[in-house]
Amino acid sequence: MRKNLFFILLFLFSITSAFAQYTPFYQYTLLAPEVMDEIIGESSGETAINHVFEMVGYQRNRPASEYGSAYFREGKYVLDKLNEYGIAGAEIERFDGGKTWDGIKGELWEVEPGKIKLADYKDIALSLAEGSKPTDVTAELVWVEEGLKSDFEGLDVKGKIVVTSATVSRVHNTAIEKGALGVVAFGSSRELTAPLAIPASGIRGENATFGFYLTPREGYKLRDRLIHGEKIKVHAVVESQMLPYDLQVPTCVIPGSDPDAGEVILSAHIFEGYTKQGANDNVSGGAAILEVARIINQLVADGRIPQPKRSIRFIWVPEFSGTIPWVSAHADIMEQTLCNINLDMVGLHLKSNNSFFSLMRTTFGNPHYINDVMENYFVYMGEANREILANRSNKRIANQIIAPSGTDDAFYYQIEQHYGSSDHEVFNNWTTHVPGVMLITWPDMYYHTSQDTPDKLDATQMKRAAVIAAAGAYNIASADEEMAGSIATTSFSYGSKRMGIELGRALDELKYTDAESFETTCKKVKVYLEATCKNELATLQSVTELATDSKILATQLETLSASTKQLFEANSVVLDNQIELTASKLGLEVPSYKLTKLEKEASEFIPVPSEKIKVGAFRVEGAVRNLPKAIQEKYPYTNIASTTELCALINGKNSALDIKKMLDTQHKEVSDLQSVLNYCGLLKEAGLLN
């Protein structure tokens, strides 16, 4: 049997290798070439990047007239464009936002020994720290280095304004406790690459006074003067107010032909607070999905592509703060939603920033074919837009997709493990369980700074982002029985590659084990194969929703699932053989892998979510922090790699032991099994588990 499995492994590896990467002369997409040609041809990088210029041409003082029941500039622009494009159901939904800080004026002048303006809110909006309160003071500056408590020792800062190379937020509270009036800062994590960039920062609390930011270049000049003993006095003036505001969510839908077939949702944030107004990190994703909405709507209206079976919905949100109430208010839509495609920062010129356009996959808690559909278009964009050496005597670049005013760079991309910190997390949360992926350019040396401006973007990158998002969304929205089968085989192909990667990881970790850690390492690396296989099987089954009554698809999925299990068994043969060789080298016996008492208990405990898990109740698991101290002490937990992922893995099927294995496979940190059980105990005490 072991010999047969070895040959199965060789056979499957030869097949999956062919599918896992493109040959030099053959690039393909799930959508038919004629549909892709229409999407590529209709897409406009110039239109997308012009949206950015219109919404955030520069960072400015947002006028008070935009708050309250009025429209924020960005949201009104999106709504006007949707109406111009004739897209159905265009509206702005509103949710209560409470009150927010609004800057009016902020000036910092040196008045002794010279008369020099150091900072002005009108020049650079981020030069005034968000949360600064009204003030009008003249005071001496004092240098406090990084603003650590030890840096204040022996310094008299009472009635003075401190200057620091750290951030305003880090130094402010300590400075005020010591009697300082306010803070001038020039801290930046990217001062060598972006010496003129001011980071977005703020101050909070009842004791908040004011803070000004200088660029690192100007900050170091001021520091040197103070270090050399120069007495400098400044005049600081701040005018600000707190204003009520609404959370505004522009939205529209391209209706599908079958109202009961479900939806695909594209999301992007156009606000991240209302002071920071970045081009890449704030509105590039929103500009891209606005172009996606135009592309698909136009192509369908012209009859150039068929109306999709499923609806495609678009939402432009305040990051997290708007997504959470919108999802919560639309539980009915969430029940019908197949998946979410979230575009965060997508327009950066990749080459000049050493950046990649990355697809952040879902976790094992949300296994879904959306990962593989989107990967298909990422890979196509990468392969079709680079010069391939093997093709040098023929067509060197298969299908160059560029904007007329953009670069003609290759497409630098990565398919990466899940990362949160954007709106797809609201969809992925266990209260909603709508699988969501994120598209993002990273790294970005300018994000969250005053230099996140439209000149850093590339029209070609905006076009490519729009093409990928439009193709992925339309692919799923229009999928029939035959396309569902193609998606399933694509998931199997990419899944086989992922299983091979985990085998390679397991074999490599095994190389570095010693006699003391041998048994633990063996158990750990075998888990990598087991957990990954479970995730791939669940991913294949997720395709069922595209053709629920199809016997053909059901049979196809049975075959692919059986092949996945065979591949797991074949990989296990290879790993077990290496374990035997390693045991022999170390003079040890192969471990028995018998479950411990705790593991047996965990394998028999299958947590089931309760009715209290309502759609949109984002981070409801935070309720465990409000449990009585006695209960928390009864169920102590440490070393859980991610409680968010732990909760997402609670589906009424996974045992507590399964959950630990899946956590360990996805994270560097090993989760403690007793802690996993204890955390489930806390969730049950909070009424979140049956």
222 occurs within a structural domain: yes
Is 50 exceeded by the pLDDT of residue 342?
Answer: yes
Helix, strand, or coil (residue 656) = helix
Confidence of residue 613 (pLDDT cuts 50, 70, 90): confident
Around Cβ 18, how many Cβ atoms within 10 Å? 12
Is 60 exceeded by the pLDDT of residue 6?
Answer: no
**Whether residue 434 sits in one domain with residue 332:** yes
Distance CA 498, CA 486 (A): 18
Asked whether 602 and 657 are in contact (CB, 8 A), the reply is yes
**Whether residue 268 sits in one domain with residue 160:** no
404 occurs within a structural domain: yes
**Whether residue 211 sits in one domain with residue 305:** no
Q: Which of 289, 299, 296 is nearest to 254 (CA)?
A: 296
Is 50 exceeded by the pLDDT of residue 315?
Answer: yes
Name the amino acid, one letter, at 385. Answer: N
Phi, psi of 234 (to 5 degrees): -130, 160
Mean pLDDT of the chain: 94
For 551-568, the pLDDT digits (tens) are: 999 999 999 999 999 999
In this prediction, residue 10 carries a pLDDT of 47
Range of the domain at 160: 104-243
Per-residue 3-state assignment (H helix, E strand, C coil) for 388-422: CHHHCCCCCCCCCCCCCCCCCCCCCEEEECCCCCC
**Whether residue 270 sits in one domain with residue 233:** no
**Whether residue 179 sits in one domain with residue 45:** no
623 occurs within a structural domain: yes
Is 50 exceeded by the pLDDT of residue 13?
Answer: no
Distance CA 270, CA 283 (A): 5
Is 70 exceeded by the pLDDT of residue 15?
Answer: no
Is 80 exceeded by the pLDDT of residue 4?
Answer: no
Asked whether 289 and 343 are in contact (CB, 8 A), the reply is yes
146 occurs within a structural domain: yes
Distance CA 57, CA 279 (A): 8
In this prediction, residue 617 carries a pLDDT of 78
**CB within 8 Å of 356: residues ≥ 6 apart:** 350, 412, 413, 414, 441, 442
> Torsion over CA of 196, 462, 476 and 320, rounded to 10 degrees?
30
**Mean per-residue pLDDT for 526-548?**
98
Is 60 exceeded by the pLDDT of residue 592?
Answer: yes
In this prediction, residue 23 carries a pLDDT of 80
**Mean per-residue pLDDT for 1-23?**
48
In this prediction, residue 392 carries a pLDDT of 82
**Whether residue 177 sits in one domain with residue 64:** no
**Mean per-residue pLDDT for 538-545?**
98
- CATH code of residue 58: 3.40.630.10
Per-residue 3-state assignment (H helix, E strand, C coil) for 436-454: EEEEEEECCCCCCECCCCH
Confidence of residue 3 (pLDDT cuts 50, 70, 90): very low
Distance CA 459, CA 347 (A): 7
In this prediction, residue 242 carries a pLDDT of 96
For 422-481, the pLDDT digits (tens) are: 999 999 999 999 999 999 999 999 999 999 999 999 999 999 999 999 999 999 999 999
**Mean per-residue pLDDT for 61-82?**
95
For 166-176, the pLDDT digits (tens) are: 999 999 999 99
**Mean per-residue pLDDT for 70-84?**
97
Is 60 exceeded by the pLDDT of residue 303?
Answer: yes
Distance CA 665, CA 642 (A): 12
**Mean per-residue pLDDT for 654-682?**
98
54 occurs within a structural domain: yes
Distance CA 75, CA 326 (A): 15
**Whether residue 295 sits in one domain with residue 196:** no
For 394-412, the pLDDT digits (tens) are: 778 889 999 999 999 999 9
Burial class (CB in 10 A: 0-12, 13-18, 19+), 16: buried
**Whether residue 471 sits in one domain with residue 382:** yes
**Whether residue 121 sits in one domain with residue 57:** no
183 occurs within a structural domain: yes
Tokens 């790993």 map to which residue?
575
580 occurs within a structural domain: no
Q: Which of 325, 302, 327 is nearest to 313 (CA)?
A: 327
Q: Which of 433, 448, 477 represents a domain boundary (last residue)?
A: 477
C-alpha pair distances (Å), 76 with each of 55, 387, 499, 586: 9, 42, 47, 69
In this prediction, residue 515 carries a pLDDT of 96
Least confident of 54-63, 483-492, 511-520, 616-625: 616-625
Maximum separation of any 2 CA atoms in the chain, in Å: 88
Return the beta strands (E) in 256-325 as ranges: 263-271, 311-318
For 142-160, the pLDDT digits (tens) are: 999 999 999 999 999 999 9
Fill in the DSSP letter of residue 373.
Answer: H
Q: Interhelix angle for 551-586 vs 518-542, to 10°?
A: 170
In this prediction, residue 42 carries a pLDDT of 98
**Whether residue 231 sits in one domain with residue 271:** no
In this prediction, residue 1 carries a pLDDT of 47
Q: Which of 217, 243, 269 represents a domain boundary (last residue)?
A: 243
Q: Which of 421, 453, 477 represents a domain boundary (last residue)?
A: 477
Query: How many domains does the structure of the chain reveal?
Result: 3
In this prediction, residue 370 carries a pLDDT of 98
**Whether residue 220 sits in one domain with residue 131:** yes
Q: What token pair was written down for 658?
A: 């399964």
In this prediction, residue 623 carries a pLDDT of 87
Name the amino acid, one letter, at 82. Answer: L
639 occurs within a structural domain: yes
**Mean per-residue pLDDT for 49-70?**
94
In this prediction, residue 531 carries a pLDDT of 98
In this prediction, residue 116 carries a pLDDT of 97
**Whether residue 310 sits in one domain with residue 200:** no
Is 60 exceeded by the pLDDT of residue 11?
Answer: no
Asked whether 422 and 248 are in contact (CB, 8 A), the reply is no
